[in-house]
Amino acid sequence: MSDEDRDPIGEAIAALRQKAETAPAGDAGPPGVRLAIDNDAQLQRMAEALLFAASEPLDLDTLRTRLPDDCDVRAILNALQANYAEAGVNLVEVGGRWRFQTAEDLSFLLREEREEPRKLSQAALETLSIIAYHQPVTRAEIEEIRGVAVSKGTLDQLLELKWIRMRGRRRSPGRPVTYGTTDAFLDYFGLSGISDLPGVSDLKAAGLLSNRLPPDFSIPAPGRLPGEEEDLFSEEEAAQFHVDFLEGEDPEGEEE
């Protein structure tokens, strides 16, 4: 073989691989050579196994507790995501958590036609949209934007779906409760984050907004509203507030 035909890098890797296979390890002698390429592949396999076995999407902190301390978890996930880019399932990040899901172009294979037992009312859709785009937002602010009262039934429906949550109390007179969307909302609508909500041009292209809008019409950038500071609820406090203050309201008190 001439010098021009040689592959010195390939030969070096082959020599190291052979040494790793033959060298003793552990108490029997000095540790064997570990190739970085083999180590990365093993870390990806470990992350892959965790994600497939999980019953729900996993965040970076959860993965870090299961993987070796010195590994770059995000780099491993990015590499794994690239490996699955053209596969039947893809690795995606939704709301800061990672999961495997069917590739979008193959979703028709799993489509199931069924009748939904409960559909969102127009009031619930409007309320959800306001909360998504204006969060953190108070009930009074929702009513001001809609121009009608918001009933207990509307908020209950969105809370039961786990698409909205009580965030906390605004640091303003009266200490009003603030609302925001949840990870379940992002998961259902396939959003990586609240900033991925469609803007005016997207809504027009989908036919959801008229092309003849007032010149001063705008949609707030989700998650970028300055807002006032708030004291956040714990899960227990949010649940108790719902029982104490919403359960006794009249469900018929809202204009449609």
d(CA 34, CA 72): 17
Look at residue 2 and tell me whether its pLDDT is greater than 80.
no
Q: pTM score, two decimals?
A: 0.51
Neighbouring CB atoms inside 10 A of 71's CB total 17
CATH entry 1.10.10.10 includes domain 122-246: yes
Return residue ranges of the chain for CATH 1.10.10.10: 34-112, 122-246
Q: CA distances (Å), 37 to each of 41, 79, 233, in order?
A: 6, 12, 46
pLDDT band at 82 (very low <50, low <70, confident <90, very high): very high
- Select from 45, 16, 57 the least CA-distant residue to 188: 57
Per-residue model confidence as pLDDT tens digits over 109-128:
877 666 555 678 888 888 99
- Select from 101, 98, 102 the least CA-distant residue to 47: 98
Percentage helix, strand, coil for the chain under 3-state DSSP, each rounded to 5: 50, 10, 40
CA 159 to chain centre: 18
Q: Are 131 and 137 in contact (CB under 8 A)?
A: yes
Per-residue model confidence as pLDDT tens digits over 164-218:
998 888 888 888 888 999 988 988 888 888 888 877 676 666 665 555 555 555 5
Per-residue model confidence as pLDDT tens digits over 141-157:
899 888 888 888 888 88
Q: What is the mean pLDDT of residues 223-228?
A: 49
d(CA 113, CA 24): 59
- State how beta strands 97-102 and 164-170 pair: unpaired
Q: Are 95 and 192 in contact (CB under 8 A)?
A: yes
d(CA 31, CA 144): 69
CATH class of the 34-112 domain in this structure = mainly alpha
